[in-house]
Amino acid sequence: MNRGGVMSKIGHSKSSPKVVLPRSVPGRRSVQLPRILMRIYIAVAAMLGVIAASTVAFFHSAESVSWSDAFYMTLITVTTVGYGEVVPLNTFGLRMLASTVALVGFGAITFLFTSLAVFFLESDLDYTLRRRRMEKQVRKLQGHYIVCGFGRVGRNVATELMNTNRHFVAVDPEEARFEENKDRFPGMLWLHGDASDDDHLAAANIEEAKGVFAVTGDDSRNLMIVITAKQLNPNVRVVARCQEVRNMRKMQKAGADSIVSPDFTGGMRIASAMIRPHVVGFLDEMLKSDKRLRLEEVPVPDDFPDTPVQKLRLRSPEYVLLAVREAHDWVFNPPQDYLLRHGQTIITMASPAGRQELEVLLADLCVQP
């Protein structure tokens, strides 16, 4: 599919932001700064102490040695320059003193300059190491989700994934969004860049991903994310955000599995709040519950044997069976003799722990090879 043609059909596209890794991040640097400055203060104090002690030692080590000679001798010894010995080193004791001053002084200078180097490079090193650590974690993920765009909608998507114990990787060209929300999403995995770029989706391990959310504020970029995601992994499920209703068909043709228009959804929610307030209130309360109850769907595994519902424990304090989705039909509140088969999908009200419990229950009943 020609990308340029699709982009022109959707309308004006914002220019893709240039992906640049910043040399420093103010928030992170402000946290490390006190520790770095303390090292510099200690290094300066150690250096001044060595110079002072060495100057006094050289001054009293020989006769007719002035303070300026002692100070100069200290400097050329500490810096290992050795232009000329203004203090004669004609005894074993003086030579041992000069050797000690040279070793201790060189160590103090090294400590000072390494501390200064850390002051300027700490942010870059920490950023690089943390980025590589996150990339390694991302490569180990399987069945995770990729949130493309970390604006208001993307953060709400990430909150829901986090509350239901689902792994995700966030991708956004504005790194400040991640820094500003790191307390809200502890341990979050993220990548800095444009998600419509093949390399960034590949870095997010899209080959092993379960789904992709294209939720930036730009329809053209969301369309490009849909196209790129389907090219890299045709089997991945893609849910796209669409600002303009007239662009929904274009995204569908591009391969989006589901398209959500905030304006349309908002209008439906407002209407529902008027004509069915108790239902809306129930759903809102469910989202606020400490158990984080949700309406979940659990697919029946392919190697699952035909089993009557009555033989399954499909009701527990953590989940309740509501319906079963067949090929094109719904079976609400299925009877006890209803056969549960592979390829169906169970609709249940469950907590995150309940969803996992049900998945384990179905896996344990699968036909063993």
pLDDT value, residue 287: 66
pLDDT at residue 35 above 90? no
- Segment 251-268 shows an average pLDDT of 88
- Calpha distance 9→158 (Å, rounded): 30
pLDDT at residue 258 above 80? yes
pLDDT value, residue 361: 85
Query: How many residues comprise the chain?
Result: 369
Tens digits of residue pLDDT in 140-175: 999 999 999 999 999 999 998 998 889 999 999 998
pLDDT value, residue 317: 79
Tokens 């043709």, residue located: 253
Q: Work out the pLDDT band at 367, boundaries 50, 70, 90.
A: low
Which range is most confident: 88-97, 314-323, 356-365? 356-365
pLDDT value, residue 116: 76
- Residue of higher predicted confidence among 245 and 141: 141
User: What is the chain's mean pLDDT, rounded?
Assistant: 80
Which range is most confident: 27-31, 194-198, 286-290, 305-309? 194-198
Q: Which CATH architecture does the domain made up of 292-364 adopt?
A: 2-Layer Sandwich (3.30)
pLDDT value, residue 56: 82
Q: Which neighbouring-strand residues pair with 241?
A: 260
DSSP state of 277: H
Residues of the chain with CATH 1.10.287.70: 26-137
Q: Which CATH architecture does the domain made up of 26-137 adopt?
A: Orthogonal Bundle (1.10)
pLDDT value, residue 215: 94
Cβ contacts of residue 135 below 8 Å, gap of 6+?
Answer: 191, 203
Residues of the chain with CATH 3.40.50.720: 141-266
pLDDT value, residue 70: 79
pLDDT at residue 96 above 90? no
Q: Work out the pLDDT band at 125, boundaries 50, 70, 90.
A: low
Q: Work out the pLDDT band at 58, boundaries 50, 70, 90.
A: confident
pLDDT value, residue 207: 94
- Residue of higher predicted confidence among 67 and 287: 67
- Calpha distance 229→255 (Å, rounded): 9
Check: CATH 3.40.630.30 for 141-266?
A: no
pLDDT value, residue 6: 43
CA dihedral 215, 161, 199, 181 (to 10 degrees): 80
pLDDT value, residue 154: 93
pLDDT value, residue 84: 65
List Cβ<8 Å contacts ≥24 apart for 250-256: 250/6, 250/9, 250/10, 250/223, 251/219, 251/222, 251/223, 251/226, 254/1, 254/6, 254/223, 254/226, 254/227, 254/230, 255/226, 255/227, 255/229, 255/230, 256/214, 256/226
Tens digits of residue pLDDT in 195-213: 999 999 999 999 999 999 9
pLDDT value, residue 5: 45
Cβ contacts of residue 278 below 8 Å, gap of 6+?
Answer: none
Report the percent of the chain where pLDDT is more than 90: 25
Residues of the chain with CATH 3.30.70.1450: 292-364
pLDDT value, residue 231: 94
